[in-house]
Structure 1
Amino acid sequence: MTVRLNAISIVVADMGRSLAFYRRLGVAVPADADGQPHVEAPLPGGLRLLWDTEDVVRSIDPDWVRRGSDGMSLAFEVDSPAEVDTLYAQLVDAGYHGERQPWDAFWGQRYAVVHDPDGNGVDLYAAL
């Protein structure tokens, strides 16, 4: 048996708002996807990022409830430490919640953390 990670799925309250956030991070989301209940976008390396509305998830599991997402985050690499600062500022200025302002991490990266519209942690980083 061969097992491969093929997709990462995000449950969203507002598809258009979530897709706008991920477009700002360079994810190639189809332009006409904002009103769809399920959306997929290819990522470099063959992975896919998937979005489903809460209604879609409840159609599969009527007892589903949002329980938060403190145990997992997505990490997006940029080319330079200055780009971490710029992207973080752009996202916060656009109204997204900045959890942790950019800092120089002891492991050798410029790092910052923001939340997507559904409260999922999104890390931004670049090598120092």
Structure 2
Amino acid sequence: MVRSGRGCRFVQDRAPPPSYPRPMSTQTSGRVRFDALGIATTDLTASLAFYRRLGLEFPEAAEQAPHVEAVLPGGIRLMWDAVPKEQATPGGGGPQLAFRCASPAGVDALYAELTGAGHQGTTPPWDAVWGQRYAVVADPDGNGVDLFAPLDPAPGAGG
């Protein structure tokens, strides 16, 4: 059976899957939480235009920034980072999971823990221009996993 709705086409050739009485997966509370999905792009203008067509809104001139975010219902963020073509992953880098740490020092500690356990660190911790301590570690399948925390406010900044 084929159904259409809101410009999407759904093909159903069997009974729908059973509904589950509880979530199939949860995240325990602790030192990190899933917070965002990141996309590295060599053409930020084209990428934002695509996602605008899907209903996301961005400020004027967002294409000029090195980092752009959209907050989705529920608080999860989609993030875009402009990367030079010579730094792009051949064939595309794909989205990355992003986990927020409790502090900048937490980014450093978790990066050290994961790389110490044999996981490949692809970007050592650094202070990003958008105000976060940031690092990237590859998961066992080679997918990038971002670790980040807001940078501490500067002394005397009154924040």
- State the TM-score, normalized to the length of structure 2: 0.40
Larger Rg: 2
Q: RCO (CA 8 Å, sep 6+): is it higher in 1 or 2?
A: 1
Q: Which structure is higher in helix share?
A: 1
- State the TM-score, normalized to the length of structure 1: 0.49
